[in-house]
């Protein structure tokens, strides 16, 4: 039984991300709101990121807007607002993304679902990823540009709230499961 998954190892400084050449298909070709088993774009994006010695890929849509990472949603703290791309830009509106938005609301952190450009992402005070396997992961560098000043108060608040939110819903260990069998 697998108790936890760790997709990234060095989280203290945040992960290193790069924009990859793989693009998110347009919504009229492949609806981003449908979670399917077609992970080809994600695999290609992740492979390119690894070949470029980065931890994760940032995938753009055909219009050049940020869609998502290869396996997670993107959030940016910029100008006093937590921003995440809309599904029309290619972001999957999944459970973890909804949980982050819910945690932000509970913490009175203003949020917007709107398009994000690469330059805005580079100027952001904080950027992090959120996904089921990734959980909440800070980005330290994007295309060799350091994000913010290494202080991450919004990430830390969201990550703590997310951890508390998911604490009760984590799988039981085998010994705990056996006790109830």
Q: Per-residue pLDDT tens for 73-93? A: 999 999 999 999 999 999 988
**91 lies in a domain?**
yes
State the pLDDT confidence band at 180, using cuts at 50, 70 and 90.
very low
Range of lowest pLDDT (9-23, 35-49, 165-179): 165-179
Active-site option among 35, 46, 144, 151: 35
Instruction: Indicate which CATH number applies to the domain containing 145.
Output: 3.20.10.10
State residue 31's pLDDT score.
Answer: 67
**124 lies in a domain?**
yes
Q: Is 130 exposed, middle or buried (0-12, 13-18, 19+ CB in 10 A)?
A: buried
State residue 59's pLDDT score.
Answer: 97
Tell me: the pLDDT tens digits for 92-128? 888 999 999 999 999 999 999 999 999 999 999 999 9
DSSP classification of residue 25: P
**88 lies in a domain?**
yes
Catalytic (active site) residue 35: yes
**179 lies in a domain?**
no
Nearest-angstrom CA–CA distance, 61 and 58: 10
Q: Do residues 87 and 30 lie in contact, with contact meaning Cβ atoms separated by under 8 Å? A: no
State residue 11's pLDDT score.
Answer: 66
- The yes-or-no verdict on residue 181 having pLDDT over 60 is no
**90 lies in a domain?**
yes
Number of domains in the chain: 1
State the pLDDT confidence band at 176, using cuts at 50, 70 and 90.
very low
**27 lies in a domain?**
yes
Question: What residues make up the domain containing 114?
Answer: 15-168
């Amino acid at each position: 039984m697998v108790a936890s998954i760790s997709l990234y190892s060095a989280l203290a400084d945040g992960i290193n991300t790069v924009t990859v050449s793989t693009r998110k298909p347009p919504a009229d070709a492949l609806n981003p709101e449908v979670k399917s088993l077609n992970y080809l774009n994600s695999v290609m994006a992740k492979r390119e990121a690894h070949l470029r010695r980065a931890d994760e890929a940032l995938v753009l849509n055909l219009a050049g807007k940020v869609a998502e990472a290869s396996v997670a949603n993107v959030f940016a703290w910029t100008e006093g607002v937590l921003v995440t791309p809309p599904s029309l830009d290619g972001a999957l509106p999944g459970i973890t993304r909804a949980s982050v938005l819910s945690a932000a609301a509970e913490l009175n952190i203003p949020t917007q679902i709107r398009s994000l450009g690469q330059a805005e992402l580079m100027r952001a005070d904080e950027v992090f990823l959120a996904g089921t396997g990734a959980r909440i992961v800070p980005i330290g560098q994007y295309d060799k540009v350091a994000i913010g000043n290494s202080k991450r108060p919004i990430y830390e608040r969201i990550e703590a709230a997310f951890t508390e939110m998911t604490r009760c819903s984590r799988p039981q260990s085998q010994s705990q499961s056996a006790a109830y069998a």
